[in-house]
């Protein structure tokens, strides 16, 4: 695969020392890079360091970039690798475990005579108009839930749902199979929905 | 039309495969089971709508950005790099 034409223009400009092009890329991609780094490191300050390291690595390695992926995929892969190695140094990896999408206790038993595996405790409407999902308080509920995700789920959620990248690009950046990517995404989304449910659908006190 | 020969997809299974459904990665049979169940089940329709609301909310979170110190350091590094 050759270098994409848009990437070709970017690479030429960077190699020619076009500072505006570099500054623009830093502006456009660093927010996402910070979020990816924060999937692995605890502090904002360390995430900034990781992103800075990533850009320096990009500059050092640019002459070796062959266009097997897009430039963005390559850059994001670099930040993911650096953040992952920082997290190994910082703290023990948390064990991945099989988990339920929804608390199993909310479903009827498999041997229920009429409604096996149907809702026992149904979801209830959220007592909020959708606009409230954008309120600061709700955003904090979401961000806290995101911070509680295992790193692999958080990486996928950030790339897919915060930034809207395609499944294919996310698989390339994170080196995941398509199936695994969807499993992680689904678990992550489900956990965030559950957090919103706890927040919005808490039983009213009577 | 619901194909009566297909085994029903219970609620507990439906919540597991919503992302596969949204990404159009269910087999045609499972897609039919999913949609047949949804047509009959109000709580699962609500669950799916909340799932979609969650995805929309995630897509509208505020941007992160680098501190001006880090940006400045990167631009300085670029100038050094491109002058070699």
What would the pLDDT profile of A120-167 be if each residue is shown by its tens digit?
999 998 877 666 777 888 899 999 999 999 999 999 999 999 999 999
Kindly list the residues from chain B whose CB atom is less than 8 angstroms away from the CB atom of residue A165.
none
**Per the domain annotation, does B40 fall within a domain?**
yes
Selected residue of B58, B62, B75, B79 to mutate for chain A interface (largest A Cβ count, 10 A): B58
Q: Which 3 state secondary structure label does DSSP give A30? A: helix
**Per the domain annotation, does B4 fall within a domain?**
no
> In this predicted model, what pLDDT tens digit does every residue of B6-56 receive, in sequence order?
889 999 999 999 999 999 999 999 999 999 999 999 999 999 999 999 999
**Per the domain annotation, does B72 fall within a domain?**
yes
User: For residue A168, what pLDDT is reported?
Assistant: 97
Residue A28: CA count within 13 A, CB half-sphere: 10
Q: What is the ipTM, given to two decimal places?
A: 0.92
Minimum-distance CB partner of A182 among B19, B54, B61: B19
Q: Is A169 on the interface with B (CB under 8 A)?
A: no
Token pair 């790193």 is found at A151
> In this predicted model, what pLDDT tens digit does every residue of A10-61 receive, in sequence order?
999 999 999 999 999 999 999 999 999 999 998 999 999 999 999 999 999 9
Domains and CATH numbers, chain A: 5-90 (1.10.1740.10), 104-200 (1.10.10.10)
User: For residue A93, what pLDDT is reported?
Assistant: 43
Q: Which 3 state secondary structure label does DSSP give B15? A: coil
**Per the domain annotation, does B37 fall within a domain?**
yes
Q: For chain B, what is the domain count?
A: 1
Question: Residue B46 sits in which domain range?
Answer: 11-82
> Which long-range contacts does A29-32 make (Cβ < 8 Å, 24+ apart)?
A29/A72, A29/A75, A29/A76, A30/A55, A30/B64, A30/B65, A30/B66, A30/B71, A31/B63, A31/B64, A31/B65, A31/B66, A32/A76, A32/A158, A32/A159, A32/A162, A32/A163, A32/B64
CA distance B80 to A14: 13
Strand segments, DSSP code E, in A118-198 are: none
**Per the domain annotation, does B3 fall within a domain?**
no
**Per the domain annotation, does B50 fall within a domain?**
yes
**Per the domain annotation, does B2 fall within a domain?**
no
Minimum-distance CB partner of B57 among A104, A125, A142: A142
């Amino acid at each position: 695969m050759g270098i994409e034409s848009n990437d070709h223009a970017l690479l030429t400009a960077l190699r020619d020392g076009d500072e505006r092009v570099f500054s623009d890329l830093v502006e456009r991609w660093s927010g996402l890079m910070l979020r990816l780094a924060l999937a692995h490191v605890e502090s904002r300050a360390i995430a900034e360091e990781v992103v800075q390291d990533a850009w320096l690595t990009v500059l050092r390695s640019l002459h070796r970039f062959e266009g097997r992926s897009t430039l963005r995929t390559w850059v994001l892969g670099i930040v993911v690798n650096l953040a992952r190695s920082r997290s190994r140094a910082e703290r023990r990896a948390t064990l991945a475990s099989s988990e339920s999408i929804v608390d199993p206790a909310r479903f009827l038993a498999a041997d229920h005579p009429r409604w096996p595996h149907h809702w026992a405790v149904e979801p209830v409407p959220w007592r909020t108009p959708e606009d409230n999902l954008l309120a600061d308080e709700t955003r904090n509920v979401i961000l806290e839930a995101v911070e509680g995700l295992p790193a692999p789920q958080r990486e996928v959620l950030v790339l897919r749902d915060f930034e809207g990248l395609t499944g294919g690009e996310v698989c390339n950046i994170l080196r995941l199979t398509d199936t695994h990517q969807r499993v992680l995404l689904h678990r992550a989304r489900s956990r965030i929905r559950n957090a919103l449910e706890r927040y919005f659908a808490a039983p009213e006190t009577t | 039309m619901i194909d009566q020969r297909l085994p029903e997809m219970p609620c507990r299974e439906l919540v597991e495969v919503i992302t596969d459904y949204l990404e159009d990665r269910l087999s045609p049979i499972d897609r039919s089971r999913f949609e047949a169940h949804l047509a009959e089940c109000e709580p699962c329709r609500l669950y799916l709508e909340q799932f979609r609301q969650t995805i929309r909310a995630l897509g509208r979170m505020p941007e992160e950005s680098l501190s001006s110190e880090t940006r400045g350091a990167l631009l300085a590094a670029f100038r050094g790099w491109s002058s070699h």
